[in-house]
């Protein structure tokens, strides 16, 4: 019996691109540590092979790409693709600073990868799949560019991740009907997260075999400042507001999150899915 998927609002690519362009200058210093930790989780049980030809989809500032290079001992050919020019500029500077000669960063769309069929031994994507409007197409593209027997590893925000934050943010947005794009952006964020069953269906629908899909779930405590300014989703709703309204929203959101917080900070749900598969 086929699984039924509910209709959902899809992320706006232009909004995502602009949001990450805005975040690029401070990205490594604010969320870089967390992205590195997630990459360690993703690679823990992933066979990267010896001197692979590898692709990092939605590579951002290259944090995950560089971690993959380190995992292979620097041997191989590495490519990173991202929709954000700002993030890629940071990645390119970092590659030059590290003296890396075997990595190339390119602007591109995960749903239309500009690479030939069967080019890569491995494909990875870290904390990005949730932002792709057409996840099935993106996964199918990753399969297309893999060699037969090639391996995929993806990790992404899913299910109830930060649902408590979105509830508060939604209440704030509802109080500002004069900025409909604000409320729409919050709904967009809430709708982009899928669960385990849908992930498995998408992996199988893309043609991967020997799939392994599981989740990591825990509670986290963040200060309002970190939630408002530094989690990657922040830029997605901020760009929907004019500057004067943004100042007011930040003030109200800070107050609400502080009031609802504990001695450890505002409590929220952390939930990520890890998915692995092989191209037959």
Q: Is residue 172 part of a domain?
A: no
Q: Provide the whole-model pTM.
A: 0.94
Q: State the Cα torsion 196-110-13-219 to the nearest 10°.
A: 30
Backbone angles phi, psi at 15, to 5 degrees: -65, -40
Does residue 120 have a pLDDT over 90? yes
Q: 2-40: per-residue pLDDT in tens?
A: 333 334 567 778 888 988 999 999 999 999 999 999 999
Residue-level pLDDT at 4: 37
- What is the distance between the terminal CA atoms of the chain, rounded to a whole angstrom? 23
Q: What is the residue-averaged pLDDT of the chain?
A: 94
Q: Is residue 72 part of a domain?
A: yes
Q: Is residue 25 part of a domain?
A: yes
Average pLDDT over residues 72-95: 98
Q: Is residue 148 part of a domain?
A: yes
Does residue 82 have a pLDDT over 50? yes
Q: Is residue 73 part of a domain?
A: yes
SS3 call for 175: coil
**Rounded distance, CA 145 to CA 232, Å?**
27
Give 47's contacts (C-beta < 8 A, 6+ positions apart): 151
**Rounded distance, CA 251 to CA 209, Å?**
49
Q: Is residue 176 part of a domain?
A: no
Q: Is residue 265 part of a domain?
A: no
Residue-level pLDDT at 5: 39
Residue-level pLDDT at 8: 56
The residue segments making up the domain with residue 142 are 13-159+193-218+270-278
Residue-level pLDDT at 12: 79
Q: Is residue 109 part of a domain?
A: yes
Q: How many domains does the chain have?
A: 1
Task: Report how many helices (DSSP H) and strands (DSSP E) the chain contains, helices first.
Answer: 11, 7
CATH assignment at residue 79: 3.40.50.150
Q: 186-241: per-residue pLDDT in tens?
A: 999 999 999 999 999 999 999 999 999 999 999 999 999 999 998 889 889 999 99
Does residue 162 have a pLDDT over 80? yes
Does residue 274 have a pLDDT over 90? yes
């Amino acid at each position: 019996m086929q699984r039924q998927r509910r209709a959902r609002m899809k992320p706006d690519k232009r909004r995502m691109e602009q949001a990450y362009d805005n975040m690029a200058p401070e990205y490594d210093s604010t969320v870089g540590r967390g992205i590195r930790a997630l990459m360690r989780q993703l690679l823990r049980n992933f066979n990267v092979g010896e001197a692979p030809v590898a692709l990092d989809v939605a590579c951002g500032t290259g944090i995950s790409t560089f971690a993959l290079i380190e995992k292979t001992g620097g041997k191989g050919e590495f490519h990173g693709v991202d929709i954000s020019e700002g993030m890629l500029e940071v990645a390119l500077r970092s590659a030059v600073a590290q003296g890396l000669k075997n990595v190339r960063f390119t602007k591109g769309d995960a749903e239309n990868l500009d690479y030939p069929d069967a080019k890569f031994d491995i494909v990875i994507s870290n904390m990005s799949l949730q932002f792709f409007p057409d996840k099935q197409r993106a996964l199918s593209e990753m399969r297309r560019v893999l060699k037969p027997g090639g391996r995929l590893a993806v990790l992404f925000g899913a299910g109830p991740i930060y649902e408590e934050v979105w509830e508060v943010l939604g209440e704030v947005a509802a109080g500002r009907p004069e900025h409909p794009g604000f409320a729409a952006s919050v709904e967009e964020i809430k709708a982009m997260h899928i669960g385990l069953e849908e992930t498995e269906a998408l992996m199988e629908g893309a043609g991967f075999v020997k799939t392994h899909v599981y989740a990591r779930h825990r509670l986290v405590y963040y200060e309002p400042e970190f939630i408002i300014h530094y989690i990657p989703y922040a830029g997605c709703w901020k760009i929907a507001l004019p500057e004067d309204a943004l100042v007011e929203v930040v003030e109200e959101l800070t107050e609400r999150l502080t009031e609802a917080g504990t001695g450890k900070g505002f409590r929220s749900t952390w939930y990520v899915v890890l998915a692995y598969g092989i191209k037959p």
